[in-house]
């Protein structure tokens, strides 16, 4: 499972930097992802795509309050 540990930010760089970032995003497609949200929720699902506003679209997604490893109940999204 991929766990991205950096802040989301607008990316403006050289063409080479943008192409490298795009390749990394393509490598993550169809892979399991865990997304931690600032309010404490954790979403676990498969990265399907992004939209034009840079939102992540996750398939087969479950929402946890806190860490999924704590065996808490989850909500299917």
pLDDT in tens, 33-54: 999 999 989 999 999 999 989 8
Q: Assess whether pLDDT exceeds 60 at residue 7.
A: no
Domain ranges of the chain: 30-77
The bridge status of strand 74-76 relative to strand 56-65 is antiparallel
CA-CA-CA-CA torsion sign (53, 57, 63, 68): negative
pTM > 0.85? no
What is the CATH topology of the domain spanning 30-77?
A: SH3 type barrels. (2.30.30)
Mean pLDDT, residues 16-33? 90
Report helix, strand or coil for 23.
Answer: helix
Mean pLDDT, residues 12-25? 84
């Amino acid at each position: 499972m991929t766990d991205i540990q950096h802040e989301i930010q607008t990316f403006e760089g050289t063409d080479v930097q943008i192409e490298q970032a795009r390749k990394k995003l393509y490598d993550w497609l169809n892979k399991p992802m865990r997304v931690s949200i600032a309010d404490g929720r954790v979403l676990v699902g498969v990265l399907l795509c992004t939209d034009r506003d840079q939102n992540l679209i996750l398939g087969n997604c479950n929402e946890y309050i806190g860490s999924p490893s704590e065996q808490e109940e989850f909500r299917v999204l």
